[in-house]
Structure 1
Amino acid sequence: MKTLMTLALAGAISFSSLANDNNDDLMELSAVKARYKTVNVLLKEGVGEAKIAIMDENGKKLHQRKVKQKGSDIIIPYNMEDMPCGEYQVEITTDDERVLYTVSTFNRSIPVEELPLMAYGKKLDDNTVNLAVIGLMEPGVDVKIRYKNNDRVLHSETIDTPEGFRKDYYLEGVDADEIYFELHDALGRTKYIHM
């Protein structure tokens, strides 16, 4: 009888340790990462059914859903574009365990080369046009005034002022509606301005 009790106790301990091994690994079977304003929740094979909750930094639930993970790993993306950048908590809960992750969302910084060249043209009268270029990171803008009907260059110059400039162009014998500006800055950005 004593041997039977010892065997039963050993079996119960080993079974509970096996069950614990499966359930204690929720942290190992899941991961949460933020990439800019997207939060990706990874649930690996073996998680089963889980609840995922997205909370703000104060613990207020913003979104919750149930997920049933079957067979292979799954990634659940959460688009946070409408939310401010900052710290968020992601809670993953199963019947046996709960894990809490903290992630930070942030805006993707846009390289200067990808930003548009900021330039504006305004017709002041039939023969005068004002050109304004702002927000230059490096001085140097090639300005070409071209005819609309044949793309021939009417005037060309390079302006090397830092940050930007404003200039009036008087078009002798040419109507402002007959031309357009072609601009190229030192970073390789281009802008066309039609009157």
Structure 2
Amino acid sequence: MKTLMTLAMVLSMSIASMANEGIVNVNAASNVKVKGKSFTLSLDESLGKVRVVISNPQGKKIHQQIYFLDENTNVPFNLSSLPDGTYKVEVSSLDKKNVVGKTKYDVNIANPAPISLPLMASYKALDDNKVKLSVVGLEISGLAVKIKNAKGVIIHKEFINENAGFHKIYNFQKLNTEGFTMELVDAKGRSKTLEL
């Protein structure tokens, strides 16, 4: 009798495992990759028929679509016109036969950090004693200028209250400008050193 019960248990477990062989889990057969303010939803063909729902950070449904999958599919979504935040992507099975469950993904989108441009400044020697400084792209008024000689001693210092761009001519009467440097710092903290 004990052997018969053991045989019945093994047989029922074998039948149960054969019944579950064709089962696909939605979580294992889908994936999300985020890049900037867009993302790609990857869906395996084994899912068959699925519903995709996207909700905004407040929980309001903003997109819903049903997909009939006969091959592996990558679905791109562009959220660049939407505000920053964490959006919910829900993938649920509509195939009752061999796909089970649903899964949710958090998609955090944000504008990329603004690009910080360097301080744009250059100089041109007009003759042995004159140098023309050109600065462009100042977003905030103000530029600190320090001119140092070859020994690192400050020979001139000033603050120029200009924005956008300007030109200024410096006259070093009878000074040898070899080894001179011009240190510039704008109101945003960007700096540049020009070797004259």
Q: How high is the TM-score relative to the length of structure 2? A: 0.54
CA-atom RMSD in angstroms: 3.5
Residue aligned with 1:81, SS: coil
User: Would you say 1:60 and 2:35 are equivalent positions?
Assistant: no
> Shift of the alpha carbon at 1:29?
1.2
C-alpha separation in 2, matches of 1:110 and 1:140:
21
> Shift of the alpha carbon at 1:31?
0.7
Q: Give 1:92's aligned amino acid.
A: V
Residue aligned with 1:46, SS: helix
Residue aligned with 1:101, SS: strand
The match for 1:116 is none
Q: Give 1:112's aligned amino acid.
A: S
Bigger-Rg structure (1/2): 2
Q: 1:168 to 1:63 in 2, by over 3 A?
A: same
Q: 1:89 to 1:165 in 2, by over 3 A?
A: closer
Q: Give 2:64's aligned amino acid.
A: Q
Q: How does 1:64-143 map to 2 (within 5 A)?
A: 64-71=64-71, 73-95=72-94, 96-113=100-117, 137-138=118-119, 140-141=121-122
Q: How high is the TM-score relative to the length of structure 1? A: 0.54
How many residues are matched? Answer: 131
Q: Give 1:31's aligned amino acid.
A: N
C-alpha separation in 1, matches of 2:107 and 2:164:
43
C-alpha separation in 2, matches of 1:18 and 1:166:
71
> Shift of the alpha carbon at 1:92?
0.2
2:134 pairs, out of 159, 162, 176, with 159
The match for 1:153 is none
C-alpha separation in 2, matches of 1:80 and 1:165:
34
> Shift of the alpha carbon at 1:10?
3.8
Q: Give 1:105's aligned amino acid.
A: I
C-alpha separation in 2, matches of 1:27 and 1:14:
20
Q: Give 1:140's aligned amino acid.
A: A
C-alpha separation in 1, matches of 2:51 and 2:34:
19
> Shift of the alpha carbon at 1:27?
1.4
> Shift of the alpha carbon at 1:167?
5.6
The match for 2:24 is 23
Unaligned 5+ residue runs, structure 2? 95-99, 125-130, 136-141, 144-161, 169-189, 192-196
Q: Give 1:108's aligned amino acid.
A: P
Q: Percent identity?
A: 20
Contact (CA 8 Å) 2:93, 2:101: kept in 1 or not? yes
Q: Give 1:76's aligned amino acid.
A: V
Larger helix percent: 1
Q: 1:165 to 1:30 in 2, by over 3 A?
A: closer
C-alpha separation in 2, matches of 1:46 and 1:142:
66
